[in-house]
């Protein structure tokens, strides 16, 4: 049984005055490692970039393609892969502030700050990353980070509103919406609103392609039913 499944029963382990952040901190940190798309992106930069470069090269055969833009994109991608250290990554972001890959790098900065418990700094990087990602599918990942970092920074009400917006945004991947709903369920149960929290868990089961969050919601519902 995972750590987050125990969180709703935090009344036995957490005082009433304890912040919501202390209850759900471990949940979000764990979920970030289970976001397979993000793991793939972080651990396979070279593979991803090589695929992008192939697409660019294929595009050169299409009439009207701007050769300079293709060359520039390839150059940025190579610089992205070459940036290994924090200093190199910061230099990459500074040199390419308007590039999607700079926004991806900022998302990495945000995750790093989050894992270190520096939630205010993480929030700043998540916000910058979201602005740069625009309509990219990873923007949903940044929005989740903004919501959770906001809560963990002490602004519980605003953070919950941000998570609610994610759940309601059907343009986002179901996995992002389901994760936001799961965290909201934990928060409701932490507040003693078990019925409302259970309804949240049920709603996750109705989301298509929610993956691991459907399984977590089902397992938590079963555990609560058996308790």
Please report the domains of the chain, with CATH numbers, ordered by start residue. 24-41+85-226 (1.25.40.10)
What gap in Å lies between CA 181 and CA 159, rounded to an integer?
12
pLDDT, one tens digit per residue, over 10-22 is 333 344 434 434 4
What pLDDT does 143 receive? Answer: 97
SS3 content of the chain, % helix, strand, coil (to 5): 75, 0, 25
What pLDDT does 95 receive? Answer: 94
How far is CA 100 from each of CA 35, 60, 87, 144, rounded to the nearest angstrom? Answer: 20, 21, 19, 18
Could you tell me how far CA 51 lies from the centroid of its own chain?
Answer: 23
pLDDT per residue rounded down to tens, the chain (227 residues): 333 433 333 333 344 434 434 434 444 444 443 454 454 555 555 455 444 444 444 454 455 545 545 656 778 888 888 888 999 999 999 999 998 889 989 999 999 999 999 999 999 999 999 999 988 888 999 999 999 999 999 999 999 999 999 999 999 999 999 999 999 999 999 899 999 999 999 999 999 888 899 999 999 888 888 76
End-to-end CA gap in the chain = 14
What gap in Å lies between CA 73 and CA 23, rounded to an integer?
43
What gap in Å lies between CA 164 and CA 188, rounded to an integer?
12
């Amino acid at each position: 049984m995972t750590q987050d499944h125990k969180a709703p029963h935090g009344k036995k382990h957490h005082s009433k005055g304890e912040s919501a952040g202390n209850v759900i901190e471990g949940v979000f940190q764990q979920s970030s490692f289970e976001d397979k798309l993000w793991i793939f992106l972080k651990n396979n930069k070279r593979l991803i970039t090589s695929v992008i470069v192939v697409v660019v090269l294929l595009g050169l055969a299409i009439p009207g393609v701007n050769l300079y833009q293709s060359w520039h994109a390839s150059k940025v991608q190579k610089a992205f892969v070459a940036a290994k250290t924090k200093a190199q990554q910061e230099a990459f972001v500074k040199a390419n502030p308007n590039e999607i890959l700079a926004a991806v790098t900022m998302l990495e900065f945000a995750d790093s700050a989050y894992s270190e418990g520096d939630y205010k700094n993480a929030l700043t990087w998540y916000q910058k990353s979201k602005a740069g990602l625009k309509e990219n599918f990873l923007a949903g990942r940044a929005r989740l980070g903004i919501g959770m970092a906001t809560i963990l920074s002490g602004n519980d009400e605003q953070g919950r509103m941000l998570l609610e917006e994610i759940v309601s945004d059907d343009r986002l991947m179901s996995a992002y919406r389901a994760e936001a709903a799961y965290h909201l369920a934990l928060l409701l149960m932490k507040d003693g609103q078990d019925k409302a929290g259970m309804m949240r868990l049920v709603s996750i089961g109705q989301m298509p392609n929610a993956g691991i969050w459907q399984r977590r919601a089902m397992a938590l519902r079963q555990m609560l039913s058996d308790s």
